Structure 1
Amino acid sequence: MRIAMLAPISWRVPPRHYGPWERVVSLITEGLVARGVDVTLFATADSITRARLVGVCPRPYSEDPSIDPKVWECLHISAVFERADEFDLIHNHFDFLPLSYSGLVKTPVLTTIHGFSSERIVPVYEKYDGRAYYVSISNADRHPRLHYVATVYHGIPLEEFTLRREPGDYLLFFGRIHHDKGAREAIEVARRTGERLIIAGIIQDQEYFAREVEPYLNERIRYIGSVGPDRRDEILGGAKALLHLINFNEPFGLSMVEAMACGTPVIATPRGSVPEIVVDGETGFLVRSIDEAVSAIARIKELDRARARLHVERNFSQDRMVEEYLRVYKEVLRMEETKREGSARSSTAATSPLYDERPWGSFTVLDEGRGYKVKRIEVLPHKRLSYQRHAHRSEHWMMVQGTGKVTLDGREIIVPTGETIDIPQGAAHRIENPGDEKLIFIEIQRGDYLGEDDIVRLEDDFGRVS
């Protein structure tokens, strides 16, 4: 398997201090190389990796103002796609821009969506939904108008973090200094509890820092700048608790996992991915106000720091993340092979393609003969087929993955995995996937005409009413 790993160029891979996307890229890349996978990393030229490195951009543009981001982003991305035929798969961590190249190459493109900076970028993802493949980094960060092949949580190298069973004597804010991340809220908790507070992170919003942080700095509330790998373990592990009192929907939040790996509990606002990462009352506390956060500080001693570490070992290790991405790669390549087989079959049997994509998912013809046809049908999460009827055939459905919600002549019927339902000739019917993963079922058609045009659509979510 030959993988092209496309990293951002805002920071080096791995980053010197800040750069969460670049950090994840590094962990995936090195984990794949350790497993014998042939990886070519496209990153800044000063990046450090055991993979084959292609560095068009000499330095990260966030560290060197002379680097024009637009110019070097174009050169960087084009370098990957101009060599696309050398790879089995391109794994894109560069947000939405590389998707605009994906229709020009045959190599499949898998994009890890690290979050949505704005709703304005979603149309690009929508345009290539179905051509490219998407991975979310938390279930909460899935966009309702997009389809995903998997959710893969970030993982960290456990050996870089030391469990400290006894708490230190300070609270910690660890993240970019911005309203979204709640630095001002952390300061308020420290002032009301009388606890020491260390603030660590890059200043992303200078005005916010000058207005909401700097006036409150003193001997008990200290800002120590951005913390790199050399001090991360020490600073995170020495804290009583990490304060993550965010004002936005967190896509993932690496600092929460890193803190818990040191045994440090997390006191966080339950927005976005936070409830997927922090176990309330076990690895930290989920709070909805400053008052609740203040109360949680008094309960820190109730928590077992070793349990927080165990939670990370079980759910957020680098090894687990890399293994899950390997499974995703294999699934994407399997789907691509199915598409190619479908294209070959459709060129000789246009009236009955082996594989076809629809707005709700896809189907594959497994077998057909005189008076019968067998299909494997996949319905994407929260999608449904049209409400329709057939004049010339009956159908028999068996659910093999997921649970189908079937409407048959106006009556709703839940059909779980392993169960079947018959659709009589002429009956109005539809099937919906109410779940978060693909619904797969086998359809057996019987009748005197089995063409795809034997459909009368009564209702349809995609404007195809007959």
Structure 2
Amino acid sequence: MSRSPTVPVEKRIRALRIGVIASIAHRTPPRDYGPWEQVASTLTEGLVAQGHDVTLFATGDSITSAHLHAEAPSGYEEDPNIDAKVYEGLHIAAAFERADEFDVLSNQFDFLPLTYSRLVATPVVTTIHGFSSDRILPVYRAYDDVARYVAISDADRHPDLTYEATIYHGIDLASFTFRPDPGGYLLFLGRIHQDKGAHRAIEVARQSGLPLILAGIVQDQAYFRDQIQPHLGKPGVTYVGPVGPAERDTLLGGALALLHLIDFAEPFGLSVVEALATGTPVIAHPLGSLPELVRHCETGFLVADVPAAVAAVGMVQGLHRRDCRNDVEKRFTADRMVVDYADLFARVISTGRPR
């Protein structure tokens, strides 16, 4: 699939007025977990740095150099007093009531804003951060004629939808320290959920004879209780809970490898790119976007099962950690992502709202 061309910033015709609609599940940027909010933050800050006039629609405790419009004081996943439906309604309505102030709206908030998109003349560019289930597809199909969809990987493109571009997520390299020498542990970083494969990571570490650190929010309490907790307290398996940016950087850079043995088609996999940025190779199942992110036998290994993952652990020290970092510098930087979005916004504005 073709991607948006990267045009130097100095060739921009004019500054754009952009409204960015973030998720309000968490603060933007998130304190620990919150990949959608992280992408919205990285995009917003990058657009401001380019000289665009940006308004971020996010929670009231969000941190941004853009203009901030907030309806929800904090994220509904972080504050039990915040009713998700009530504040999502207020949040989205606020953005569209101000739509005529913007040249374009960047929807980083799933499918709900699409239901407002026919009511305004301002074009809406919707980044699809994966499909939580097939039940949400009717909304995307219903607005395919006017929506401007962005896929976050080629693997996540749905055949029923029309896309403007595939734009990979980008990260701020300054937040991830390259470490040429690995530590002696394996790392699992992500949601503690059956689909993410923490139990497989434990088995790989056990068979490899290496310690494992587990980090991330517990999303499935029953899974954590039955398949993860029994291993905690035993030698070699440590759960450190959710981690903030500094601890995340330290854990990623100190690992021998990141184990990403997922059981679903991963739309992107931000932690994979973050690991590579620190020089840490990734051992993953080749599902969803993973073959696009991990260069097999160069920046990690794509494996079919636990025995293959164990074998990969034995070979991972033969990889060059600098190659991992270099690949991120070429393909997954925040600067590249921001330029691609700015180019897309300019193109959408110049061609008009209907496709």
* TM-score, with length taken from structure 1: 0.72
Partner of 2:138: 123
Counterpart-to-counterpart distance in 1, 2:188 and 2:106:
32
Q: Give the CA deviation at 1:132.
A: 1.2
Aligned with residue 244 of structure 2, among 213, 225, 228: 228
SS at match of 1:14: coil
Q: How do residues 30-429 of structure 1 correspond to structure 2 at under 5 angstroms?
A: 30-217=45-232, 218-336=234-352
Partner of 1:366: none
Q: Report which of the two has the higher share of strand.
A: 1
Partner of 1:22: 37
Measured against aligned partners, the alpha-carbon deviations of 1:253-288 in whole angstroms (never above 9, x if no partner) come to 000000000000000000000000000000000000
Measured against aligned partners, the alpha-carbon deviations of 1:186-205 in whole angstroms (never above 9, x if no partner) come to 00101111110000000000
Counterpart-to-counterpart distance in 2, 1:228 and 1:136:
27
Counterpart-to-counterpart distance in 2, 1:19 and 1:250:
16
Counterpart-to-counterpart distance in 1, 2:207 and 2:213:
15
SS at match of 2:119: coil
Measured against aligned partners, the alpha-carbon deviations of 1:391-447 in whole angstroms (never above 9, x if no partner) come to xxxxxxxxxxxxxxxxxxxxxxxxxxxxxxxxxxxxxxxxxxxxxxxxxxxxxxxxx
Amino acid at match of 2:341: Y
- Between Structure 1 and Structure 2, how many residues are aligned? 339
Q: Report which of the two has the higher share of helix.
A: 2
Higher relative contact order (CA 8 A, sep 6+): 2
Q: Give the CA deviation at 1:138.
A: 0.1
Counterpart-to-counterpart distance in 2, 1:116 and 1:263:
30
SS at match of 2:46: helix
Counterpart-to-counterpart distance in 2, 1:18 and 1:161:
16
SS at match of 2:54: strand
Counterpart-to-counterpart distance in 1, 2:173 and 2:79:
32
Counterpart-to-counterpart distance in 1, 2:145 and 2:326:
38
Measured against aligned partners, the alpha-carbon deviations of 1:365-395 in whole angstroms (never above 9, x if no partner) come to xxxxxxxxxxxxxxxxxxxxxxxxxxxxxxx
- Give ranges in structure 1 of 5+ residues lacking alignment: 340-356, 358-466
Counterpart-to-counterpart distance in 2, 1:147 and 1:331:
16
CA RMSD of aligned residues (A): 0.8
Amino acid at match of 2:313: I
Counterpart-to-counterpart distance in 1, 2:230 and 2:137:
38
Q: Give the CA deviation at 1:30.
A: 0.2
Counterpart-to-counterpart distance in 1, 2:51 and 2:346:
15
Measured against aligned partners, the alpha-carbon deviations of 1:19-58 in whole angstroms (never above 9, x if no partner) come to 0000000000000000100000000000000000001101
Amino acid at match of 1:175: G
SS at match of 1:103: helix
Q: Give the CA deviation at 1:331.
A: 1.3
Task: Indicate the structure (1 or 2) with the bigger Cα radius of gyration.
Answer: 1
Counterpart-to-counterpart distance in 1, 2:227 and 2:162:
39
Counterpart-to-counterpart distance in 1, 2:323 and 2:188:
21
Counterpart-to-counterpart distance in 2, 1:302 and 1:170:
16
Post-superposition, which runs of at least 4 consecutive aligned residues in structure 1 deviate over 6 A?
none
Q: Give the CA deviation at 1:230.
A: 2.0
Counterpart-to-counterpart distance in 2, 1:296 and 1:230:
28
Give identity over the alignment, percent.
60
Counterpart-to-counterpart distance in 2, 1:236 and 1:150:
30
Counterpart-to-counterpart distance in 2, 1:52 and 1:332:
23
Counterpart-to-counterpart distance in 1, 2:177 and 2:115:
43
* TM-score, with length taken from structure 2: 0.94
Amino acid at match of 1:273: S
SS at match of 1:301: helix
SS at match of 1:134: strand
SS at match of 1:240: strand
SS at match of 2:154: coil
Counterpart-to-counterpart distance in 2, 1:133 and 1:262:
34
SS at match of 1:162: coil
Amino acid at match of 1:53: L
Counterpart-to-counterpart distance in 2, 1:146 and 1:155:
24
Q: Give the CA deviation at 1:216.
A: 0.9
Counterpart-to-counterpart distance in 1, 2:226 and 2:66:
44
Q: Give the CA deviation at 1:174.
A: 0.3
Counterpart-to-counterpart distance in 2, 1:129 and 1:60:
29
